[in-house]
Amino acid sequence: MLRFLNKKIIINLAIIFSIFVLDRFSKIYIIQAKVSGPINEIKITNFLTLELVWNRGVAFGLFSMSDNIFYSAITLLILSIILIIVYLSFASSGFKRLAYLMIAGGAIGNAFDRIVYKQVPDFIDFHIGQFHWFIFNIADIFITLGVVFMIIIELIGSKNNEKINS
């Protein structure tokens, strides 16, 4: 068993686990703050508030659902996609590997909540006056950063390919 655990695998798992733990601690903190006190929100700045919102949707509250069969099917699909992303992270290198690991760590954090709570706790609320963006969590930050990094990698890669082919 130990001969399969090379340095790359250990580092990959450590990154995924670190993102998962950071996400878990942040969610546990905000859930406990909500349970233990009458405070509905924690105002950090004029544009940043921490407020617990339970999300039964897929991403940023989109496609919220109450149908258990559909919810379970979506959860199974998400778990399948996570396995593919983890595989791609192990098959990749460099910045692309890091992007996949960020996506995987965040996705595992949210999938854990979907399984345990049947919903995902979101709590970071950026707003300007009365305009509020989607409320999100730490896992969503890592997923979004990973996707942005993948887009940048693809754009840079396609520009390099255009230069080589011209």
Q: Which of 23, 113, 125, 140 is catalytic?
A: 140
Residue-wise pLDDT tens digits, 64-109: 556 677 778 888 999 999 999 999 999 999 999 999 999 999 999 9
**How far is 100 from 95, CA to CA, in rounded Å?**
9
Q: Looking at residue 136, what is its pLDDT?
A: 94
Q: Looking at residue 161, what is its pLDDT?
A: 57
Q: Which of 68-82, 104-118, 138-152 has the lowest mean pLDDT?
A: 68-82
Q: Looking at residue 63, what is its pLDDT?
A: 52
Q: Beta-strand (E) ranges in 2-158?
A: 42-43, 48-55, 120-128, 131-132
Are the C-beta atoms of residues 146 and 119 closer than 8 Å to each other?
no
5 burial (CB, 10 Å; 0-12 / 13-18 / 19+) is exposed
Q: How many CB atoms lie within 10 A of CB 142?
A: 27
Q: Looking at residue 4, what is its pLDDT?
A: 63
Are the C-beta atoms of residues 35 and 44 closer than 8 Å to each other?
no
Q: Which of 23, 113, 122, 125 is catalytic?
A: 122
CA angle 65-109-19, nearest 5°? Answer: 150
122 assigned to active site = yes
Query: Please, what sign has the CA dihedral across residues 74, 29, 41, 45?
Result: negative
Q: Which residue has the higher pLDDT, 90 or 57?
A: 90
Q: Looking at residue 141, what is its pLDDT?
A: 97
Q: What are the Cα distances from residue 109, in Å, to 16, 58, 72, 76? A: 9, 13, 17, 15
The predicted model scores a pTM of 0.84
Q: Where are the domains of the chain?
A: 2-165
Residue-wise pLDDT tens digits, 2-47: 566 788 889 999 999 999 999 999 999 999 988 777 667 888 888 9
Q: Which residue has the tokens 């733990």?
A: 21
Q: What are the Cα distances from residue 136, in Å, to 32, 94, 132? A: 17, 28, 11
125 assigned to active site = no
SS3 128: strand
Burial 95-116 (b: 16+ CB within 10 A, else e): ebbbbbbbbbbbbbbbbbbbee
Q: Looking at residue 158, what is its pLDDT?
A: 67
Q: Is the pLDDT of residue 51 over 60?
A: yes
Q: Looking at residue 56, what is its pLDDT?
A: 81
